[in-house]
Structure 1
Amino acid sequence: MIQVGLTGWGDHPDVYSPTSKKNEKLMDYSAHFPIVELDASFYAIQPERNIRKWIDETPDDFQFIVKAYQGMTGHQRGKLPYSTPEEMFQQFKLSVDPMRLAGKLAMILVQFPPWFDCIKENVDQIRYIRTQLEGYDVAIEFRHQSWYAPSMQEKTLSFLKELNFIHTVCDEPQSGVGSVPLVAETTRSDKVFVRLHGRNVNGWRNTTGDNEAWRKVRYLYNYEDNELDEIRQAVHKLENEAENIYVIFNNNSGGHAAENAKRFQKMMGIDFQALAPKQLDFFEEE
């Protein structure tokens, strides 16, 4: 089964009903897509009340891909707001467990930063994360090219398979060592994750030091049909290797993600069922 969705539900005006209120965005979103990547969890471990609210606002079959908290992946600047790493992981698990128990947790996404390269220390860190998240479906995303170097790619995939991690297949700008190639390979027979960041080569790296301005352009990209066809071919390959393929469009900066996802869905001939009843035909031709 192929599931298609977007990163977050708060930044996609094309999917909102004109009469909807601000707090109804997730309900509108779930009328169009069966999965979403929850990115708020990267910036702060979410309180239980938020998690339960999101569970209640979505259809029974709706799935969340929860992005791991930045302190768990090495992105955190400064001191962690937890006394120990173990406490941090425990709080994160307590946060996501209501989704897990409700059958709505597709996976946890552990995305490492561009400076997380293929060295023994980082391999040990991945093993540590596996022990802390034992029993959870966890997807690993690398941002440093060394993990996919010709001499390392097969070892990387075998390592992920050994630890029962889901491989994250990325489409992103090819801009030096801080980007990875599209490697359409699976490490588990049940799940694989495809994450599409766009191909904005000029905006991928922060060359100005202005983090706020950079975030606005990094994922500014509108996929062309021929580029989506490349993704379609990769997904078809993965379809022969994994039971469930989760495809997330993360090219949010210019508002292109929803339209690109709908175009890709049409290209794949996918018709999602059991969506929320508020669905409107915003993307249908007149």
Structure 2
Amino acid sequence: MIKVGLTGWGDHPDVYSPASKKTEKLQDYSGHFPVVELDSTFYAIQPERNIRKWIGETPDGFGFITKAYQGMTGHHRGRLPYESEEEMYDLFRLSIGPLAEAGRLPMVLAQYPPWFDCTKENVGVLRRLRERLDGIDVAVEFRHQSWYSDKYREGTIKFLQEQHFIHSVCDEPQAGDGSIPFVPAATRGDKTLVRLHGRNSAGWTANGRDDKKWREVRYLYDYRDDELEEILGGVKKVQEQCEDVYVVFNNNSGGHAAENAKRFMKLAGIDPQGPGGRQLDLFGKGDW
């Protein structure tokens, strides 16, 4: 089965009812998509009350692909706000516990930064992550091209298989070492993650990693139908290798993600309806 969703639920005005309040965005979102990428966990380990609130606002069957906290993947700068790494991991596991208990946690996404290259040391980092998140389904996403070089690609896929990691397959600009190719390979028989970042090469490689404007243009992209067809072909290849493929659109700097996801679902023959049972005329076109 192909399950389509977006990154976050707070910035997709096309899926909200006109009369909806800010606090009702998640409910509206869940009427359109069966899964969402929970990004707030990357910036801060969430209080358990937040997690339980979000579970309560969504119907049975709705899943949260939960992004690993930035201190766990090497993004955090400066001193961690925890006494130890053990405390950080313990609190993260405690935070996501309700999702796992409710059957709402398809996976945790560990997205590594562009400077996390394919070295023996970093392979060790991944082994330790696997140990610390034992019993949790974890997807690994690389951003450094070396993991998929001719020299290491086969070894990367084999390593992910051996460690029981879910492969995060990415569509993104092909713009040097800080980007990876689309490699439609499943590393587990049950699930694979496909993340679509757009193809804005200029925005992807612009200087100023921490500049707000850079962040706004990095994922500024509107997929054409032929590009979505191409991606769908890759997704179908992955689907031949596993039971469920989770496809997440992250190209929302210009608000294109929801509309692109709906077009992709139409091309794939997927019923445009979330587990909340809402099948709305999202864009006033009446043809979804």
If the length of structure 2 is used for normalisation, what is the TM-score?
Answer: 0.97
Counterpart of 1:230?
230
Number of equivalences: 286
Provide runs of 4+ in structure 1 moved above 2 Å. 272-275, 277-280, 283-286
- The amino acid of 2:84's aligned partner reads T
- The amino acid of 1:174's aligned partner reads Q
Q: CA deviation at 1:278?
A: 4.7
Q: Using the alignment, how far apart are the partners of 2:88 and 2:97 within structure 1?
A: 14
Q: CA deviation at 1:285?
A: 2.4
- SS of equivalent to 1:103: coil
Q: Does 1:27 align with 2:46?
A: no
- The amino acid of 2:29's aligned partner reads Y
**Contact (CA 8 Å) 1:28, 1:279: kept in 2 or not?**
no
CA distance 1:107–1:210, shift in 2 (3 Å): closer
- SS of equivalent to 2:238: helix
- The amino acid of 1:119's aligned partner reads T
Deviates most, 200-209 or 110-119: 200-209
Q: Deviations over 1:77-108 (max 9, x none)?
A: 11000111111011000000100000000100
Q: Using the alignment, how far apart are the partners of 1:82 and 1:231 within structure 2?
A: 41
Q: CA deviation at 1:213?
A: 0.9
Q: Using the alignment, how far apart are the partners of 2:118 and 2:208 within structure 1?
A: 27
**Contact (CA 8 Å) 2:262, 2:272: kept in 1 or not?**
no
Q: Deviations over 1:196-219 (max 9, x none)?
A: 000000000241455211110000
CA distance 1:216–1:100, shift in 2 (3 Å): same
- The amino acid of 1:78's aligned partner reads G
Q: Does 1:102 align with 2:102?
A: yes
5+ residue gaps, structure 1, are: none
5+ residue gaps, structure 2, are: none
| Cα RMSD (Å) | 1.2
- The amino acid of 1:94's aligned partner reads L
- SS of equivalent to 1:254: coil
Identity %: 64
- SS of equivalent to 1:237: helix
Q: Using the alignment, how far apart are the partners of 1:190 and 1:277 within structure 2?
A: 25
**Contact (CA 8 Å) 2:75, 2:113: kept in 1 or not?**
yes
Counterpart of 2:162?
162
- The amino acid of 1:255's aligned partner reads G
Counterpart of 1:200?
200
